Amino acid sequence: NIILIADGPWSNWTERAIRQSDHLLLVADFDSDFKQSEQEKRVNALWDFSSHLKQSLILVHPSGTTEITNTKRWLDERSILRFYHVRIGQTEDYARLARILSGHANSLVLGGGGARGYAHIGVLRALEVNGVAIDAVGGTSIGAVIGAAVALQYNSDKIFNLCAQYFRNFFDFTLPVISLIKGRKIEKNLEMALGNKQIEDLWIPFFCVSTNLTRAEQVIHYRGSLAEALRSSMSLPAMMPPVIKSGDLLVDGGVLNNLPIDVMNDLYSGGKIIAVDISPKIDLASNESHFMSGSGLKLLLAHLNPFRRTAYIPSIFDIISRSITLAAVNKSMRTDEQNLASLYLLLSVESVGTLEYDRLKQIAELGYTSSINQVTQWCRGSEDS
């Protein structure tokens, strides 16, 4: 890669450098004036935004900065998709930016799947053990929630503790007119666990995916309220009420894209994508046909009977979740989709029900044991290459 550094004041060299570039980097002190300067306006007049040319905004923060607030004011002034935060003297920030800009980013994509998403925590531990730094993260549903914590630079232990405190019991059941639960408790827990933050104020680039039920299309959230985006991404139809945004109904991203590898590839092509799939192709298998055709009361009594033989009977929530996300699961199973990832992990979580949030420790450990060998082998292969 050739880097052309423009002059401070406008010059012939500045104009020539801009015309010769295919990726324009705007670097600014975060605490400085966020309005477009006259020089930036001249740059934009030369820049062809309709082509494949890219423009990125790099915002520099003082050393020791822990919280970012109001990146929005910078973005509202510009038509820009890619923006990055770095702190003066913070080596890991510089390294992350260098990997992203040079096309060597380590990007993490986490799939949806209810309580099975706790397995993502085990994968994070496997990545930490192998010293893999995550430069960008995206996800769907529970994968979006875990991914947001990664973007906040929380390690696997802290994420485990947050899940134990806030995401093990968040069901506030209601009269099922729109949905089975109100969703207010999960909204409150999301804000308590992750803070009242904006996506653009996260240190690590993050996106999540929801489904616009009104317009039958995918929505990619990379700006705006983090809690609202996560709530949209995990609003499984019939389970939770949709999020209303500008008159449209937003529901679980798993309806259209349960493992958004393609979205990450579009944003950070050329890097290494680590994709974690928790939706197996074969799922909800049961040989209890006499129970499945029985009454709800019969099923309940059978479940409460301590002397009956152990058997798997999928719950109504398991069946709803599987049915709604089936097309997206089928999409993630396609070879061309998986080939976009440098490391594709299909975790063995068939034994976990989508609502078994009380099994946090076991599921997280299952994620670790299911992934550690593959992650270690992949890391060794990356070093050799």
What pLDDT was estimated at residue 364? 97
| Res 362 pLDDT > 80 | yes
Supply 220's token pair: 């990619």
Q: Which of 21, 141, 321, 370 does the annotation list as catalytic?
A: 141
Encode the chain in three state secondary structure. CCCCCCCCCCCHHHHHHHHCCCEEEEEEECCCCCCCCHHHHHHHHHCCCCCCCEEEEEEEECCCCCCCCCCHHHHHCCCCCEEEEEECCCHHHHHHHHHHHCCCCEEEEECCCHHHHHHHHHHHHHHHHCCCCCCEEEEECHHHHHHHHHHCCCCHHHHHHHHHHHCCCCCCECCCCCCCECCHHHHHHHHHHHCCCEHHHCCCCEEEEEEECCCCEEEEECCCEHHHHHHHHCCCCCCCCCEEECCEEEEEHHHCCCCCHHHHHHHCCCCEEEEEECCCCCCCCCCCHHHHCCCHHHHHHHHHCCCCCCCCCCCHHHHHHHHHHHHHHHHHCCHHHHCCCCEEEECCCCCCCCCCHHHHHHHHHHHHHHHHHHHHHHHHHHHHC
| Res 159 pLDDT > 80 | yes
How sure is the predictor about 59, in pLDDT bands with cuts at 50, 70 and 90? very high
Residue in the block written with tokens 């068939």: 350
Supply 98's token pair: 């260098």
Are the C-beta atoms of residues 97 and 67 closer than 8 Å to each other? no
Contacts 24+ apart (CB under 8 A), 28-37: 28/57, 28/58, 28/59, 28/60, 28/74, 29/59, 29/60, 30/59, 30/60, 30/61, 30/68, 30/71, 30/74, 30/85, 31/61, 31/62, 34/73, 34/74, 34/77, 35/77, 36/77, 36/78
How sure is the predictor about 309, in pLDDT bands with cuts at 50, 70 and 90? low
Q: What is the mean pLDDT of the chain?
A: 87
| Res 37 pLDDT > 90 | no
| Res 198 pLDDT > 60 | yes
How sure is the predictor about 305, in pLDDT bands with cuts at 50, 70 and 90? low
| Paired residues of 173 in beta bridges | 181
Please indicate whether residue 44 or residue 208 has the higher confidence score (pLDDT): 208
How sure is the predictor about 238, in pLDDT bands with cuts at 50, 70 and 90? confident
| Res 310 pLDDT > 70 | no
Q: What are the pLDDT digits (tens) for 87-143?
A: 999 999 999 999 999 999 999 999 999 999 999 999 999 999 999 999 999 999 999
Are the C-beta atoms of residues 327 and 211 closer than 8 Å to each other? no
How sure is the predictor about 71, in pLDDT bands with cuts at 50, 70 and 90? very high
Q: Which of 93, 135, 252, 318 does the annotation list as catalytic?
A: 252
| Res 210 pLDDT > 90 | yes
Cα–Cα distance between 375 and 132 in angstroms, integer?
9
Are the C-beta atoms of residues 74 and 34 closer than 8 Å to each other? yes
Architecture of domain 108-384 in this structure = 3-Layer(aba) Sandwich (3.40)
Domain ranges of the chain: 1-102, 108-384
Question: How far lies 200's CA from each of 81, 152, 205, 225, 256, in Å?
Answer: 10, 11, 8, 9, 24
What pLDDT was estimated at residue 6? 87
Q: Considering the chain, what percentage of its residues have pLDDT values greater than 70?
A: 88
Whether 141 is catalytic is: yes
| Res 290 pLDDT > 80 | no
Q: What is the CA radius of gyration of the chain?
A: 23
What pLDDT was estimated at residue 302? 61
What pLDDT was estimated at residue 321? 74
| Res 52 pLDDT > 70 | no
What pLDDT was estimated at residue 338? 79
| Res 49 pLDDT > 60 | no
Question: How far lies 78's CA from each of 44, 56, 58, 73, in Å?
Answer: 10, 10, 13, 9
How sure is the predictor about 225, in pLDDT bands with cuts at 50, 70 and 90? very high
Least confident of 15-24, 30-39, 354-363: 15-24
Q: Dihedral through CA 73, CA 134, CA 261, CA 100, nearest 10? A: 60
Cα–Cα distance between 326 and 332 in angstroms, integer?
10
What pLDDT was estimated at residue 295? 57
Q: What are the pLDDT digits (tens) for 241-280?
A: 999 999 999 999 999 999 999 999 998 877 999 999 998 7
Q: Considering the chain, what percentage of its residues have pLDDT values greater than 90?
A: 59
pTM of the predicted protein model: 0.88
Highest mean pLDDT among 9-23, 287-301, 320-334: 9-23
Residue 81, Cβ density class (10 Å: 0-12 exposed, 13-18 middle, ≥19 buried): middle
How sure is the predictor about 301, in pLDDT bands with cuts at 50, 70 and 90? low
Strands 23-29 and 106-110, bridge-based pairing: unpaired
